[in-house]
Amino acid sequence: MQLRTFLAKDMREALATVRAEMGDEAVIVGSQKTKDGGVMVRAAFDQGIDQVENITDLSAGEPDDGDAPASLQSERREALIRRLRGEQPRNASASGSFSRPELLALLRGHRAPDSITHDLAKTAEQSGLSDMTLALACALGRRMKTAPIDTAQNAALLLVGPNGAGKTAVAAKLAAHARLTFRAVQLIAANAAGAGAVARLQTFATHIDAPFAVAENAEALAKSVADCGKENVTAIVDTAGFDPRNGKARAAFSALAKIPNIQTVGVVSACGDAEEIVEIIGALATLGAGRLIVTCADLIRRLGTLVSAATSGLPLAHVTRSPYVAAGLETLTPLSLARALIASDRNADEGSAQ
């Protein structure tokens, strides 16, 4: 998916820029006012239609679906999706008619845990939808919670998770996103003892022209966070990796999570066992994590770990599909995850046949 952000003095200018740079097929997936009175518009090409729940500008004339269930059972919503895809109305989508045995096989092929697999297949069947993609999206929508991070809020973000989950890169991505919206941000390293961790975060800070600081302990971090709050600066805190299932390690981080005006965000990698991820996410929730970011989605073919994370009960903020800071963070929806599961399964079949 090609997702870009545009800044302009008004919506007319923004739409003209979107069309000029991305073409007539681009879809507006979100817009908001900026502090200087202008507008910020996010536009997507092709797969951006997965963000149909967030589209406002292109659905003029349609009844408000704000209170509609996440199951996507409304025929009106399905018609809107098809129109955004540029498809003609038809009885079944390209993904094929719904089949519970096929859905079970698909989810098992992605190495999703059996408990989640059977629950999703049962809910998809009960939806009554004939389209496999929409039925799966309905089932995922019953279990998924999403809560994208708004870096414009005056709150500190504490990133916690296992070693190698990608917390430092996520910190840089969040900071870069804040800078794009003209939000003042500071990167703080609370991992002073980690080998190379401070230097790497400092390099990211220099790259995006953001202030950088090191907090040696909880007291120093609390002071830095308080100072950022007074100056209306978003603090993004990178921490040392640890196993949150370990009681002693978790206790050591509890003091950081209790700092006033700080939001704890769990970070886990999609490159891992699905059952292990569920345990880790549960432990992060106990620590106080209010939402989740899943990294390395670009490195996996079997999406069972991503399904486990998305349906764990902890609100999913973002997923990352690139190690590069400029690639940013993506918001996953039930529909986009359903399409990814089916498309990935189809591509695997085509690859094995060659």
Residue 56: predicted pLDDT: 36
Please check the confidence at residue 51 and state whether its pLDDT lies above 70. no
- 197 plus 319 within the same structural domain: yes
Q: Is residue 67 part of a domain?
A: no
pLDDT tens, position by position, 63-86? 333 333 344 344 445 555 555 454
Q: Is residue 66 part of a domain?
A: no
180 vs 189: CA distance, rounded Å: 22
Task: Compute the C-alpha angle 24/29/31, nearest 5°.
Answer: 105
- 136 plus 163 within the same structural domain: no
Residue 76: predicted pLDDT: 43
What domain range includes position 217? 156-332
Full-model pTM: 0.72
Q: Is residue 139 part of a domain?
A: yes
Number of structural domains in the chain: 3
Amino acid at 28: I
Backbone angles phi, psi at 233, to 5 degrees: -115, 135
pLDDT tens, position by position, 144-177? 999 999 887 768 999 999 999 999 999 999 999 8
Please check the confidence at residue 308 and state whether its pLDDT lies above 90. yes
Residue 14: predicted pLDDT: 79
- 127 plus 262 within the same structural domain: no
- 199 plus 233 within the same structural domain: yes
For residue 8, give the 3-state DSSP assignment: strand
For 281, the token pair is 């996410």
Q: Is residue 68 part of a domain?
A: no
Check which CATH number belongs to the domain holding 268 and give it: 3.40.50.300
Q: Which residue has the higher pLDDT, 29 or 287?
A: 287
Amino acid at 324: Y
Complete DSSP assignment for 21-53: HH-TT-EEEEEEE-TTS-EEEEEEESGGGGGGG
3-state helix/strand/coil string of 304-330: HHHHHHHCCCCCEEEECCCCCHHHCCE
Task: Compute the C-alpha angle 109/272/288, nearest 5°.
Answer: 120
- 51 plus 166 within the same structural domain: no
- 86 plus 119 within the same structural domain: yes
Please check the confidence at residue 114 and state whether its pLDDT lies above 60. yes
Cα pseudo-dihedral 347, 49, 75, 93, rounded to 10: -20
- 175 plus 108 within the same structural domain: no
- 121 plus 176 within the same structural domain: no
306 vs 304: CA distance, rounded Å: 5
Task: Taking residues 101-117, report their average pLDDT.
Answer: 95
pLDDT band at 2 (very low <50, low <70, confident <90, very high): low
- 123 plus 180 within the same structural domain: no
For 175, the token pair is 């900071």
248 vs 254: CA distance, rounded Å: 10
180 vs 151: CA distance, rounded Å: 10
Q: Is residue 309 part of a domain?
A: yes
Q: Which residue has the higher pLDDT, 344 or 192?
A: 344
Q: Is residue 150 part of a domain?
A: no
Q: Is residue 266 part of a domain?
A: yes
Task: Taking residues 240-255, report their average pLDDT.
Answer: 88
- 7 plus 29 within the same structural domain: yes
- 25 plus 164 within the same structural domain: no
- 218 plus 346 within the same structural domain: no
Cβ-proximal residues to 60 (8 Å cutoff; 6+ apart), any chain: none
Q: Is residue 69 part of a domain?
A: no
Contact yes or no for 145/314 (Cβ under 8 A): yes
